[in-house]
A and B are shown apart, each in its own frame.
Chain A
Amino acid sequence: MIEISRLTKRYSTKVAVADVTFTAPPGAVTGLIGPNGSGKSTTIRALLGLTRPTHGTATVDGCQYGDLGPYPLRRVGALLDNAAPVPERRGVDHLRWIAQTNGISRRRVDEVLEQVDLTGAARSRVKQYSLGMKQRLGIAAALLGDPDVLVLDEPMNGLDPEGIRWIRELLRRRTAEGATVLVSSHFMTELESVAERVVVLARGQVRAEGTITEVAGGFESLEAAYFHHTTVSV
């Protein structure tokens, strides 16, 4: 369970997130949507303990990220915005060091490489990867610790249709096993097909929250609801 409670993050010149409250329950995919700059990544960074909230809390299973113990990747897997692998390193080495931080076996590195279909490119340097291959590598890193909580910031960016279908199936399977998944995305149709719940952010505030049916109810589609909630000032 992910709980964001009255989260506010103020930077010197602007408020990125203002009094945001929502939960992402286990066994479901929760979509986090909103225009560019609406505070999705800031919320995720606060959840991962990278950004210090000005007010409020962001917890995983009732714990601040820093209190999850020395091996947090075994409980929370994250794909972060603005955290690319170093281009001159080989893909497999990127996963190796991340695995080592959390005492995860070398065998598991090969497993996740296989899962994201990067086994063949594992020994190439990341600078030779395409956009989608980099994205797959980031997803592989999130899966390393086989965590019950996944926090993915725009995981579908750059993926080909096959990759998108693969991640949809992955998320469905993990939530069926009871995992908690929080996914930010700009792909409304894709999200509609995979998420049970959705949180709409605009200008750092929650504009709508609930099941897809609740949020999109009365609209043609999630996309129509999105435009309604993010353009009409509340």
Chain B
Amino acid sequence: MTAPTAPHRPNPGRAGPTRAALRAELTKALTLRSLWIGAGVILALNVYFAQMNVSLLADLAQTLEDGRFVAYDGTVASFETAVRDSILSSPYQSAALFVPLLIAVVCGQEYRTGQIRTTAAAVPNRWRLATVQIIVSVVLGVVVTILAFVMSDVVLLLALPAEGRDVVLSAAGMLVGAKVLTYSAVMSVVAGVLTTVLRSTMPALVAIVAVLVLALSGVLLPLSPLVHGLLPMIAAKTFLFGYAPDATDPSVAAGLVILLGWLTAGAATWFGALRYREIG
């Protein structure tokens, strides 16, 4: 080992402590190899799904009469709706499942090897720590979703017939983008808080998938449509697609309120878990 250097006074820097902690938290995430691999896989899957939608839409465009077609369940729907749903479908899948899984991996790094102790000793103010962790989770989730959304739009723009392209670029097309970002922010907080409370990635992954299975299978529906509607994926469905696919689904406004409820409850629990539970 080398001889010591002269005693060093660390550069105090001009960043306030919260900015300093935020920067550190971002560095922690961005220097994690699994983040890059995970984000890469999500974006690749997303392009694949968008590509599949394109071929479905292309087939659909062949059967159009007056811009409308007969859906598999016999109802008549407009081509515009089909395109709008396609814009959403792959980012929606990312936001519902893949982004939360990614956030659980990133937040779980703290608990894999006891890094949380180093973190807590470096940032002893637990409110500050929770704040920066929540911000970074939301930013990561939203950025990955934006990339997914833009990439799937690009695929659609390149491959769709002209009438489809107009829908992609319309205000309605952009609005669904904003909505899916809201949804991914909520899901990022939900995934992060689950990981923080359970102090491990694996159980959090299981919990996320379990909630998704509950939502998709609809097992709660016969027991209580209300509880079923409170699941974030169900609340998000109407909110995102702008119409209620099932009669029991909450309205658009109710969906938004439920999502914001999850966001608030998730953040509050995150604060509570770091502030009141012992790190040990």
Binding site for B on A (CB under 8 A): 45, 48-52, 65-66, 68, 70-74, 78, 80, 82-90, 93, 96-105, 107-108, 111, 114-117, 125, 141, 144-146, 162-163, 166, 170, 173, 177
Is the pair B10, A52 in contact by a Cβ cutoff of 8 Å? no
By a CB distance below 8 angstroms, the chain B residues around A86 are 32, 109, 112-113, 115
B31 on interface, CB distance cutoff 8 Å: yes
> Is A88 touching B279 in the complex (CB atoms < 8 A)?
no
Give bound CA distance, A140 to B119, whole Å. 15
Once A93-B31, A114-B2, A162-B1 are accepted as A-B contacts, the answer to whether A105 and B11 lie under 8 Å apart by CB is yes
Report A-chain residues with C-beta under 8 Å of the C-beta of B112.
86
Choose among A78, A115, A125 the residue that contacts B5 (Cβ–Cβ < 8 A): A115
- Listed by A's residue number, 11 A-B pairs whose Cβ atoms lie within 8 Å are A48-B121, A50-B120, A83-B115, A85-B113, A89-B32, A90-B31, A101-B21, A101-B119, A102-B20, A104-B11, A105-B10
Docked-complex contact B1 and A166, CB < 8 angstroms? yes
**B71 an interface residue at 8 Å Cβ cutoff?**
no
Q: Mark B1-44, 1 if CB is under 8 A from A, else 0.
A: 11011011111110101001101110110011110000000000
**Cα–Cα distance between A66 and B20 once the two chains are bound (Å):** 17
Bound form: Cα–Cα A144–B122 in Å: 11
B10 touches A115 (CB 8 A): no
Q: Is B118 an interface residue (CB 8 A)?
A: yes
Interface size class of B (residues with CB under 8 A): 35 or more
Partner of B117, one of A50, A114, A177: A50
Q: By CB atoms of chain B within 10 A, which of A73, A83, A84, A100 has the most?
A: A100
Chain A neighbourhood of B12, CB < 8 A: 71, 103
Q: Tell yes or no: B73 within 8 A of A by CB.
A: no
Chain A residues near B122 (CB-CB < 8 A): 72-73, 98, 101-102
Q: Which of B176-198 contact A (CB under 8 A)?
A: none
B225 at the interface (CB under 8 A from A): no
| Nearest-neighbor residue (CB-CB) of A45 within chain B | B280
A82 & B117 in contact (Cβ 8 Å cutoff): yes
Chain A residues closer than 8 Å to B24, beta-carbon distance: 97-101
Task: List the 3 closest A-B pairs by CB distance, nearest first.
Answer: A70-B17, A103-B13, A100-B24
- Please report the C-alpha to C-alpha distance between residue A87 and residue B21 in the assembled complex, in whole angstroms: 22
Task: Determine the distance from Cα of A125 to Cα of B33 in the docked complex, in whole angstroms.
Answer: 10
Q: A49-B121, A101-B122 are in contact. Are A93 and B27 (CB under 8 A)?
A: yes
Residue in chain B with minimal CB distance to A70:
B17
Q: How does the 8 Å CB contact mask read for B121-152 relative to A, with 1 for contact and 0 for none?
A: 11111001000000000000000000000000
